[in-house]
Structure 1
């Protein structure tokens, strides 16, 4: 195989492409980080008054099945701790749910570019500290799809300081 990317690298790249597409659809700017030293993969910025931003940690997985009204997702402890702290720029976690079969992740035709399935977001600021060393399982509401409409709503909450 001539691929230089691991499966995890490909998942990461697809989650970034998804976030970029949603932000572009909303008319927002995306700034990517060269190094993930603070639990942030990219920042989404808007214009108008106050110039709100949202910092985003991206993840992707084939193992995101709903349990009632939430997805249960094991988040590395480092990421959990960095996302739960109070920061000037609000932070969210965006998790892309990928199909089990890698061949179904992305479809390209002359008429379509299809990235399956959907991404979901949650904000962890204010979540409690844990004694866990490797990971903490979090709940991501099924209703929190990360799409153009929800991103615009999140940005308005960032603008007003209510994204907590």
Structure 2
């Protein structure tokens, strides 16, 4: 497996860990032709919306894109334009998982813990302006938007109330 495939699998594992602890299930579309890598589903009635869902584009990088306040991630224009639309039934977000440069630093393990390093950040591009860029669109993600169990639960609760991220 090459390093990019390893990064993809690592980010999948991160997403699966956060989602399972939050109490939701994951589903994967058979084909990613609409910038949707994964979907998250809740069961039962949680609010105005029954069985809320969230779809996402999952990216990972070990590049130095983090500063004191934000993450600046270069996204392909197709992904940007697919994620910025406002008329989806199921809301969509972008998740970028930051991974250490050195493969040996990705996981720390002992008898007491398994630590996946570093972590993910999320951003809703809903309603962002159309771009004419042809190579990349750099999106800015606040460091406050860590993709954690609590953040995912909050996003899903908002969707239950009819509020899209």
After TM superposition, the score normalised by the length of structure 2 is 0.91
**Shift of residue 108, structure 1, vs aligned partner:** 4.0
- Unaligned runs of 5+ residues in structure 2 are none
Residues 62-101 of structure 1: matches in 2 within 5 Å?
62-86=62-86, 87-101=88-102
The alignment yields a C-alpha RMSD, in angstroms, of: 1.4
Aligned 8 A contact 2:65 2:73 in 1: no
- Unaligned runs of 5+ residues in structure 1 are none
Is 1:28 matched up with 2:31?
no
Q: In the alignment, which of 3, 8, 12 is matched to residue 7 of structure 1?
A: 3
Structure 1 stretches of 4+ with a deviation exceeding 4 A read: none
Please list the CA deviations of residues 26-85 of structure 1 after superposition, one character each: whole Å capped at 9, or x if unmatched: 110100122211101110011231110100110110124433421111011111111111
**Shift of residue 152, structure 1, vs aligned partner:** 0.3
Aligned 8 A contact 1:64 1:73 in 2: no
C-alpha distance in structure 2 between counterparts of 1:67 and 1:113, whole Å: 26
Is 1:113 matched up with 2:114?
yes
Give the secondary structure class of the aligned counterpart of 1:60. strand
Q: For this pair of structures, how many residues does the alignment match?
A: 160
After TM superposition, the score normalised by the length of structure 1 is 0.91
